[in-house]
Amino acid sequence: AQTVTQSQPEMSVQEAETVTLSCTYDTSESDYYLFWYKQPPSRQMILVIRQEAYKQQNATENRFSVNFQKAAKSFSLKISDSQLGDAAMYFCAYRTATNFGNEKLTFGTGTRLTIIP
- Does position 59 interact with another protein (CB under 8 A)? The reply is no
Of 101 and 117, which CB lies nearer to another protein in the complex structure? 101
- Cα(13)–Cα(113) distance, integer angstroms: 8
- Does position 110 interact with another protein (CB under 8 A)? The reply is yes
- Cα(58)–Cα(40) distance, integer angstroms: 25
- Does position 61 interact with another protein (CB under 8 A)? The reply is no
For the chain, state the CA radius of gyration: 14
Residue 102: count other Cβ atoms within 10 Å of its Cβ.
9
> Taking contact as CB under 8 A, which single stretch among the options 17-25, 61-69, 76-84, 96-104 is the one that binds another protein?
96-104
Interface contacts to another protein, rule CB under 8 A: 4, 33, 35, 37, 43-47, 50, 52, 91, 93, 95, 97, 100-110
